[in-house]
């Protein structure tokens, strides 16, 4: 099976997202698709997956011209799409998610639970016989790698020949990535080609047979992955020689005598225990750990701790009794979570509506509380310009943006109508599923916020990101905050040693 896209054009009002792109996808290969933020990757796979109709161009499937009328039409023709944000239904089991919409029934009306469970396990085993997942458990309780496998198995339920995987390992630690890599590698041998979008260039090189590079909505080149290296990919994506990491340079070391912006002692929640932690104005503190180690949970608890067991928190020297999202936001704490389309953005809303989510009063007339679309649009344009968001207008739906631009909106909603309001900003996986260009821009924004005197906490599974940003790093294991590392004594190796040593 081969799908040939020829001269594909996609226009949005005021923006040409794709300009004459041509590429062929086959069912006997893993085909990497890369490009900088806004290069057109998301738009191209949306067309391939049937969720968008192109403005111009042709699509051929096994030599026949086709026009995909929707994702269902694409699936019927053997093309499935596993999106970056995920589409599993919380509260349902893994088995129920695999057979969602195709549940076996008795007498044509009642779901046959026993048959559903059997078919789900048989489907998993038929594709991945050496993979063991508890499909009876609620899907949200499974490790993220298992959740992604459940999504893949659901997509493979029909006669799929081309599987689109959009940032499949964006939030996975190394061990779980390797497990998913093995699954991706075996699919072409089973007659399923993979279109792989990933901002991890090493992953693209390791898994792909061929690689296509897009830049500014145009095709740069398609070439065999064998013999290529990251330097070549970066040069093609950016058209200049550039390191894949942010230049570190000098760091601002905070005044040790300054009153901490936030300080906790004997902090206890069901997931984490921290004896003492503080962040001072202008400081960027990184939190690292293996999956489930507690660094993400601790970061969230500084903003919202409804199940706190004990401990004290002081904000700018004042003891805080109510550590809730509403109360901490009022005090000047912002929280940018991971999984942006689940925890941060509303997919049915425009960019303007999402940006105005936290501070709608910024678009209102004085104290009357009457919203002014013109004022909202003006402020939305300011934030979009400040963050270099690539979009046709503030009225564009957020779901139409690339991953990097979505993340900028997730950050921008805290800056909208809130100049200088926040003294502590907490980021969890701040560059999850974004390309190197957008990552660099987000890092520069975080550094700029720190220079303005804002205290920053960054919890990330990307150790190089932490090394590029932080002045101090706290490692976690088994729900405990353990050791600290201080710049400039940072390296990926030292971080790994700190985490593994803590577990030993």
Using only the alpha carbons of the chain, give its radius of gyration: 23
More confident of the two residues 242 and 498? 498
Least confident span in 178-182, 250-254, 300-304, 498-502: 498-502
- Rounded distance between C-alpha atoms, residue 348 and residue 350, angstroms: 7
DSSP 183-250: HHHHTGGGT-EEEEE-S-HHHHHHH-SEEEEEETTEEEEEEESTT--HHHHHHHHHSS---SS-----
What is the tens place of the pLDDT at every residue in 77-134?
A: 999 998 877 788 999 999 999 999 889 998 778 899 999 999 999 999 999 888 899 9
- Rounded distance between C-alpha atoms, residue 71 and residue 78, angstroms: 10
More confident of the two residues 66 and 292? 66
The stretch 135-161 carries a mean pLDDT of 90
Would the CATH topology of 2-238 be identical to that of 262-503?
A: yes
- Rounded distance between C-alpha atoms, residue 343 and residue 338, angstroms: 7
More confident of the two residues 312 and 291? 312
The confidence score (pLDDT) of residue 502 equals 39
Task: Determine whether 58 is exposed, middle or buried from the number of CB atoms within 10 Å of its CB (0-12, 13-18, 19+).
Answer: middle
Task: For residue 153, list its beta bridge partners.
Answer: none
The stretch 367-375 carries a mean pLDDT of 78
Task: Please name the CATH architecture into which domain 2-238 falls.
Answer: 3-Layer(aba) Sandwich (3.40)
3-state secondary structure of 62: coil
State yes or no: cis peptide before 196, omega within 30 of 0: no
More confident of the two residues 494 and 287? 287
Separation in Å, CA 323 to CA 64, 264, 267, 413, 475: 60, 11, 12, 21, 23
- What is the Cβ-side half-sphere exposure of residue 35, based on CA atoms within 13 angstroms? 26
- For helices 403-415 and 373-386, the axis angle rounded to 10 degrees is 120
Task: Determine whether 349 is exposed, middle or buried from the number of CB atoms within 10 Å of its CB (0-12, 13-18, 19+).
Answer: middle
Instruction: State whether the Cα torsion 232-236-237-238 is positive or negative.
Output: positive
Cα 306 to chain center, whole Å?
25
Separation in Å, CA 324 to CA 273, 305, 313, 421: 18, 6, 12, 18
Residue 489: which residues within 8 A CB-CB, separation 6 or more?
Answer: none
What is the tens place of the pLDDT at every residue in 8-30?
A: 999 987 678 999 999 999 999 99
- Rounded distance between C-alpha atoms, residue 48 and residue 6, angstroms: 12
- Examine the pLDDT at 38 and tell me if it is beyond 60: yes
Most distant CA pair in the chain: distance in Å?
A: 74
Which sequence spans correspond to the domains of the chain?
Answer: 2-238, 262-503
Cα 141 to chain center, whole Å?
19
- Rounded distance between C-alpha atoms, residue 85 and residue 90, angstroms: 13
Report residue 490: phi and psi, to 5°: -110, 145
- Rounded distance between C-alpha atoms, residue 344 and residue 351, angstroms: 12
Q: Which of 165-169, 179-183, 319-323 has the highest mean pLDDT?
A: 319-323
DSSP 441-485: HHHHHHHHHHHTT-EEEEE-S-HHHHHHH-SEEEEEETTEEEEEE
More confident of the two residues 69 and 364? 69
- Examine the pLDDT at 75 and tell me if it is beyond 50: yes
Class of domain 262-503: alpha beta
Mean pLDDT score of the chain: 88
The stretch 216-220 carries a mean pLDDT of 92
The confidence score (pLDDT) of residue 249 equals 58
Q: Do 184 and 60 form a contact (C-beta atoms < 8 A)?
A: no
DSSP 93: B
- Rounded distance between C-alpha atoms, residue 479 and residue 274, angstroms: 8
Confidence of residue 36 (pLDDT cuts 50, 70, 90): confident
The confidence score (pLDDT) of residue 451 equals 92
Residue written as token pair 């899907």:
139
- Rounded distance between C-alpha atoms, residue 150 and residue 279, angstroms: 39
The confidence score (pLDDT) of residue 86 equals 73
- Rounded distance between C-alpha atoms, residue 28 and residue 228, angstroms: 20
3-state secondary structure of 359: coil
What is the tens place of the pLDDT at every residue in 261-306?
A: 999 999 999 989 999 999 999 999 999 987 678 899 999 999 999 9
The confidence score (pLDDT) of residue 18 equals 95
Residue 279: which residues within 8 A CB-CB, separation 6 or more?
Answer: 260, 261, 262, 263, 285, 424, 455, 456, 457
């Amino acid at each position: 099976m081969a799908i040939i896209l020829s001269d594909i054009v996609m226009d949005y009002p005021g923006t040409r997202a794709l300009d004459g792109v041509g590429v062929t996808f086959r069912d006997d290969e893993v085909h990497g698709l890369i490009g900088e933020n806004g290069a057109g990757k998301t738009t191209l796979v949306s067309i391939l997956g049937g969720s968008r109709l192109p403005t111009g161009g042709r699509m051929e499937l096994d030599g026949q011209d086709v026009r995909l009328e929707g994702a269902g039409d694409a699936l019927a023709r053997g093309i499935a799409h596993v999106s970056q944000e995920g589409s599993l239904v919380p509260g349902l089991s893994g088995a129920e998610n695999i057979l969602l919409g195709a549940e076996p029934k008795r007498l044509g009306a009642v779901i046959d639970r026993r048959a559903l469970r059997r078919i789900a396990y048989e489907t998993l085993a038929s594709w991945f016989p050496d993979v063991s997942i508890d499909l009876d458990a609620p899907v949200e309780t499974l490790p993220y790698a298992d959740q992604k496998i459940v999504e893949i198995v659901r997509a493979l339920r029909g006669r799929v020949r081309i599987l689109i995987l959009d940032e499949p390992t964006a939030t996975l630690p190394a061990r779980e990535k390797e497990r998913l890599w093995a699954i991706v590698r075996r699919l072409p041998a089973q007659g399923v080609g993979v279109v792989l979008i990933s901002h991890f260039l090493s992953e693209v090189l390791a898994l792909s047979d061929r690689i296509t590079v897009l830049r500014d909505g145009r095709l740069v080149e398609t070439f065999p992955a064998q013999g290529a290296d990251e330097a070549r990919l970066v040069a093609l994506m950016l058209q200049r020689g550039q390191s894949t990491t942010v230049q570190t340079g000098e760091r601002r070391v905070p005044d040790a005598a300054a009153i901490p912006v936030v300080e906790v002692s004997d902090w206890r929640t069901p997931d984490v225990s921290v004896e003492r932690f503080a962040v001072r104005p202008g400081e960027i503190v990184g939190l690292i750990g293996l999956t489930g180690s507690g660094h993400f949970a601790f970061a969230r608890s500084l903003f919202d701790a409804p199940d706190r067991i004990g401990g004290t928190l002081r904000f700018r020297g004042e003891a805080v009794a109510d550590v809730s999202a509403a109360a901490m936001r009022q005090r000047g704490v912002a929280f940018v979570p991971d999984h942006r389309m689940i925890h941060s953005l509303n997919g049915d809303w425009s960019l303007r509506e999402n940006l105005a989510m936290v501070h709608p009063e910024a678009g209102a007339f004085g104290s009357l509380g009457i919203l002014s679309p013109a004022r909202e649009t003006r402020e939305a344009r300011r934030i979009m310009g400040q963050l270099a968001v690539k979009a046709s207008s503030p009225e564009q739906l957020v779901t139409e943006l690339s991953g990097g631009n979505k993340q900028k909106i997730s950050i921008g909603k805290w800056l909208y109508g809130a100049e200088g309001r926040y003294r502590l900003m907490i980021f969890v996986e701040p560059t999850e599923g974004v390309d190197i260009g957008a990552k660099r821009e987000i890092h520069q924004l975080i550094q700029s916020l720190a220079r303005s005197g804002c205290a920053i906490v960054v919890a990330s599974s990307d150790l190089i990101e932490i090394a590029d940003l932080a002045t101090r790093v706290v490692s976690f294991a088994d729900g405990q905050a353990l050791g600290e590392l201080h710049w400039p004594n940072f390296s990926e190796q030292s971080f790994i040693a700190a985490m593994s040593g803590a577990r030993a």
